[in-house]
Amino acid sequence: MIVIEQILSKQEVALYRKQLQTVNWDDGRYTAMGMAADVKSNRQALASDPDVQQLANQLLTKIGATPKVVSAALPHQIFPPCFNRYSESEEYGFHVDAAVMRVPNTQVVLRSDVSMTVFLSEPEEYDGGELIIATEFGEQSIKLPAGYAVVYPSSSLHKVTAVTRGERVAAITWMQSMVADSGLRQNLYQLDQSIQALIAAGNTDRTELDKLHHVYHNLIRQFAQL
Please write the tens of the pLDDT for every residue from 59-117: 999 999 999 999 999 999 999 999 999 999 999 999 999 999 998 888 999 999 999 99
What's the number of CA atoms in the CB half-sphere (13 Å) around residue 53? 7
Rama region for 129: left / alpha / beta (φ>0; ψ in -120 to 50; rest): left
Same domain, 79 and 164: yes
Same domain, 13 and 66: yes
Please report the pLDDT score of residue 162 as a whole number.
96
Q: Is the pLDDT of residue 45 over 90?
A: yes
Domain count, the chain: 2
Tell me what the mean pLDDT of segment 190-202 comes to.
95
Minimum mean pLDDT range among 28-32, 68-72, 135-139, 166-170:
28-32
Decide if 153 contacts 136 (C-beta within 8 A): no
Same domain, 92 and 151: yes
Distance CA 62, CA 56 (A): 10
Same domain, 121 and 11: yes
Q: Which domain holds residue 207?
A: 182-223
Same domain, 61 and 111: yes
CB atoms within 10 A of CB 183: 9
CB atoms within 10 A of CB 201: 8
Same domain, 16 and 67: yes
Question: Which CATH number is 101's domain given?
Answer: 2.60.120.620
Surface-to-core class of residue 184, CB atoms within 10 Å of its CB (0-12 exposed, 13-18 middle, 19+ buried): middle
* Reported confidence tier of residue 135, pLDDT bands at 50, 70, 90: confident
Write phi, then psi, for 107 (nearest 5 degrees).
-100, 5
Same domain, 167 and 197: no
Please report the pLDDT score of residue 20 as a whole number.
95
Same domain, 28 and 139: yes
Query: Mean pLDDT over all residues of the chain?
Result: 94
Tell me what the mean pLDDT of segment 23-51 comes to.
87
CB atoms within 10 A of CB 4: 22
Please report the pLDDT score of residue 116 as a whole number.
97
Please report the pLDDT score of residue 35 as a whole number.
74
Write phi, then psi, for 87 (nearest 5 degrees).
-95, -175
Percent of the chain with pLDDT over 90: 88
pLDDT greater at residue 39 or residue 37? 39
CB atoms within 10 A of CB 111: 17
Ligand-binding site membership of 97 (annotated)? yes
pTM of this structure = 0.92
Please report the pLDDT score of residue 199 as a whole number.
94
Same domain, 56 and 142: yes
DSSP state of 80: P
Same domain, 194 and 119: no
CB atoms within 10 A of CB 84: 22
Please report the pLDDT score of residue 68 as a whole number.
95
| Cross-strand pairs, 132 | 141, 159
CA torsion through residues 68, 143, 90, 136, sign = positive
Same domain, 129 and 218: no
What confidence tens digit (pLDDT) does each residue in 142-161 have? Answer: 999 999 999 999 999 999 99
Surface-to-core class of residue 168, CB atoms within 10 Å of its CB (0-12 exposed, 13-18 middle, 19+ buried): buried
Same domain, 95 and 114: yes
